[in-house]
């Protein structure tokens, strides 16, 4: 956890000193850096037979979490943007730079074999459903769909998969450029998250919404994943890895979308940080239960 928190802290201190406009940085990350990272991931990682179960469980879990978030938001009388912000931070786990290392260390090669398809599909869901939720309050269905279609990362997925499947090699010099930009994406996003946290006024943060989103992300999500694995008779280690990946803290990418579309960025960034710190305890307990 320490390297992750140090990167957040660097962004936080930098913003306190220089006070930059953060939105242009989120634009760079979403429209320039993320497409390279997504292409790099899909081009290099194979899709195996477990992908069907990953797609099914991840889709059903997302639907369940969306319904829970919408129901809670309606019961508590949250505004539309606050509900969208809570959905962003509670429905999408950090299965990439956080989840993959954890399942790899816990399960070895099988952790990577099953974890990568989960991370890949989570990226697809975040690039489509996540963007739709973030842009939802800016003109309804038509405007949200328009913003989804504007995301360049959604247009590199299929070409990358086809190039991998048919063994179409990219020249080494071009691939080095793609790797350099792709590898810079996650640290850049984490720095932006730290910068956004420097802009948060703790007095204005709705801690009730933060607590509910964190509870859904770290407790409800893995519990629902466990029930889905039982219903579909998914055996270990795939079931254990699905559950662990469902218990990851909020994805840092959600903060980018919240900043870009003004969807409660203070709420989303606070949930991302607090759920990341709290997950040290929750994931330790969960790993001792399922591994």
pLDDT digits (tens, 9 = 90+) for 59-70: 999 999 999 999
- Band of residue 119 on the pLDDT scale cut at 50, 70, 90: confident
Structurally, how many domains does the chain consist of? 1
* Within a domain: 16: no
Whole-model pTM: value is 0.83
DSSP 157-190: HHHHHHHHHTT-PPPHHHHHHHHHHHHHHHHHHH
Per DSSP, helices labelled H in the chain are 2-18, 23-28, 34-44, 51-76, 80-91, 100-107, 109-125, 131-135, 140-149, 157-165, 172-198, 207-215, 221-231, 238-246, 253-260, 265-290
Domain harbouring 227, CATH code? 1.20.1530.20
Question: Residue 115's closest CA among 128, 97, 141, 130?
Answer: 97
250 strand-pairing partners: 93
* Within a domain: 7: no
Mean pLDDT score of the chain: 88
Q: Is the pLDDT of residue 6 over 90?
A: no
- Band of residue 140 on the pLDDT scale cut at 50, 70, 90: low
* Within a domain: 10: no
220 Cβ neighbours under 8 A, 6+ residues apart: 65, 68
**Alpha-carbon span 236 to 240, nearest angstrom:** 6
* Within a domain: 4: no
- Band of residue 52 on the pLDDT scale cut at 50, 70, 90: confident
- Band of residue 236 on the pLDDT scale cut at 50, 70, 90: confident
* Within a domain: 68: yes
76 Cβ neighbours under 8 A, 6+ residues apart: 208, 212
Residue 248: domain span? 21-290
């Amino acid at each position: 956890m320490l390297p992750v928190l140090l990167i957040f802290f660097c962004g936080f201190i930098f913003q306190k000193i220089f006070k930059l406009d953060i939105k242009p940085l989120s634009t760079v990350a979403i429209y320039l850096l993320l497409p390279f990272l997504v292409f790099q991931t899909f081009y290099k990682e194979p899709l195996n037979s477990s992908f069907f179960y990953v797609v099914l469980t991840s889709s059903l879990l997302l639907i369940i979490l969306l319904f829970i978030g919408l129901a809670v938001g309606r019961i508590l009388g949250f505004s539309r943007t606050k509900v969208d912000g809570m959905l962003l931070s509670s429905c999408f786990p950090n299965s990439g730079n956080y989840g993959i290392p954890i399942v790899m260390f816990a399960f070895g090669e099988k952790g990577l074999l099953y974890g990568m398809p989960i991370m890949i599909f989570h990226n697809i869901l975040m690039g489509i459903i996540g963007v739709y939720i973030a842009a939802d309050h800016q003109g309804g269905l038509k405007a949200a769909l328009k913003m989804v279609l504007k995301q360049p990362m959604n247009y590199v997925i299929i070409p990358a998969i086809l190039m991998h499947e048919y063994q179409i090699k990219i020249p080494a010099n071009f691939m080095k450029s793609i790797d350099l930009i792709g590898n810079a994406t996650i640290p850049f996003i984490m720095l932006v998250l730290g910068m956004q946290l420097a802009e948060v006024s703790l007095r204005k943060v709705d801690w009730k919404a933060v607590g509910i989103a964190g509870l859904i992300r770290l407790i409800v999500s893995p519990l629902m994943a466990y029930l889905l694995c039982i219903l579909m008779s998914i055996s270990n280690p795939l079931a254990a890895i699905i559950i662990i990946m469902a218990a990851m803290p909020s994805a840092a990418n959600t903060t980018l979308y919240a900043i870009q579309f003004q969807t409660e960025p203070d709420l989303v960034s606070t949930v991302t940080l607090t759920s990341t710190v709290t997950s040290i305890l929750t994931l330790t307990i969960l790993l001792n239960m399922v591994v």
